[in-house]
Structure 1
């Protein structure tokens, strides 16, 4: 029995609305900073002829376009569910984040590398490098503020973990895109400054082009990292292990000798968006509980889960015996040829023993036995179809087909 809960609405001051507002604020800050920086960099590159400065100008222009796309994604992802998209539009943010990664790789990295190679082939001295120094200093100040805000928000949401770990665990494409682009921008500005200094102070005019190539390679690396992370989110990522343990603990509060649930078979979760999680749970209710008890238990679990974890916006509970659940797992494993233990599903018998302290016996059929039974059933069904009683219509049809062929030959 499945009981889908409606999307749990969060209050205007709830964590979901607050996180979305903070992400929007960070994107707006990055958009304003990059727009001003791009204009100043293009002016400096035109005046001085610096290839590294031109690469940085292109980088900032691409970042500005990317932030505009992220704002579009945030707005479209907030649309309510409808008949065409019953689970809502939360994943649209991931789509636009992937578009950002593609643009960063193709336009940002590609153009920077092309410009750098062109400058390496014919290096020229800079006409007035002092303008580059001024623009780079202002750009570093603006990018530094944007990076400070974005990195602080990212670490705060993930318990002040290391930045790389926080980025890997983040499900907010807008947040980690801004963080990655800002960090890449600071690194790119440093490379551009080193290239200008080497060309101006040391007379190494090729250094300006080399800095441009290095900026392009940096952008390519960031773009590939972003694409890999967002691809995983588009496919569908589970919540963190801590949240999974918390969800299981809430459901196991209804497991016990005097409780309605015998065992928790399985939990599966998927992020539909940064603050939008789908939970599907399979539980084994005791045989002696009534339908009213099942409904009351389901309602209690929905309230407890959505109170503790408001991001779980959609909850599906399935009443399923341990044996039926194992049979379903065996069919799924046979169909996809996968080891379902990698999903964190485990063995249903182990789940039952872990969940039910009474150790109440239950008829459990191992998955291997179920697969053998299915293999035996198919030949039996085929032999029945070919028996004289059931196969007579097929034989008559075959004879009629042979007669028709003879008539056509005549």
Structure 2
């Protein structure tokens, strides 16, 4: 969880609030179903960003007897709520609205107003997405966006980026639908545009929800973090061999469990002191590793295999 995440969410909230107001006004003025679907989408985005901010606040709660490892994973719950809202409020409602207008064949007036609002919205959403991509690139300069999407453990940044992508594609779909309706005079294109926006939102919401669900179930730390931690432990002179190493992402923190064979020590106390040094060095090298559980054991033949 990066420190920039709340800033990115606040920027997105302010932008989407302004965009939603403009879209509602344009939808009422033009009677465009695609524009109304986009207004609903922006409203859902505003609610989503408020939920993410609430989730970030809840995730900072200190540890307690009920939650001895803190509430860091609570952000995953709120991120899942956001994905569900995007699916049902943004996607399903847009599909419903499109089907209703497809049946009613309501005419579109002053289409140029809708096109102007959609064009401005594209620029604003593109700037928002560019900001999210910059934050992603700070921590992962060499990863492709798809690989980052599959491997990231920052659910709030995942949701913001997913919403921005959905918004841009939805705006492009709505723009084409309104333009075709204006050129042909056929309101069917506008209704189909609303349905297209809804289906697009539902697909992206499903992809985001799938990734967040995996985090809720319990994902390891990112592959590069796990590799670096394991290499660090294996290189320790006190360790003869690593039997097992497990990482678990806990919000912005990481839980680490290590089972390793230690070199020979004169006493149990000397081994305990060595383990304490290893744990302290791990946490100094990897500040995100908040908890370390280190178990000395004997490397057996099946472990070597």
Into which bin does the TM-score normalised by the smaller protein fall?
Answer: over 0.9
Query: Cα deviation per residue 1:215-240 (whole Å; 9 max; x = unaligned)?
Result: 00000001110110000001111123
Equivalent positions of 1:313-392 (< 5 A) are 313-323=290-300, 347-350=302-305
Aligned to 1:364: none
| TM superposition score normalised by structure 2 | 0.96
Q: Secondary structure at the match of 2:245?
A: strand
Q: CA deviation at 1:81?
A: 0.8
Q: Secondary structure at the match of 1:268?
A: strand
Aligned to 2:135: 153
Equivalent of 1:224 in 206, 211, 229: 206
Q: CA deviation at 1:299?
A: 2.1
CA contact (8 A) 1:129 1:200 kept: yes
Cα RMSD for the two superposed structures: 1.5
Equivalent of 2:231 in 249, 257, 261: 249
| TM superposition score normalised by structure 1 | 0.72
Q: Which whole-Å CA distance do the structure 2 matches of 1:276 and 1:297 have between them?
A: 24
State the number of aligned residues. 305
- The 4+ residue runs of structure 1 with deviation greater than 4 A are none
Q: CA deviation at 1:305?
A: 1.3
Whether 1:271 aligns to 2:249 is yes
Whether 1:281 aligns to 2:258 is yes
Q: Which ranges of structure 1 fall in alignment gaps of 5 or more residues?
A: 1-15, 327-346, 351-410
Q: CA deviation at 1:107?
A: 1.1
Whether 1:195 aligns to 2:168 is no
Whether 1:103 aligns to 2:85 is yes
Taking CA–CA contacts closer than 8 Å with sequence separation of 6 or more, which of the two structures ends up with the larger relative contact order?
2
Aligned to 1:294: 271
CA contact (8 A) 2:150 2:211 kept: yes
Q: 1:288 to 1:309 in 2, by over 3 A?
A: closer
Q: Which whole-Å CA distance do the structure 2 matches of 1:146 and 1:176 have between them?
A: 13
Q: CA deviation at 1:286?
A: 4.1
Aligned to 1:31: 13
Aligned to 1:384: none
Equivalent of 1:79 in 45, 61, 84: 61
Q: Secondary structure at the match of 2:82?
A: helix
Q: Which whole-Å CA distance do the structure 1 matches of 2:91 and 2:239 have between them?
A: 56
CA contact (8 A) 1:154 1:176 kept: no
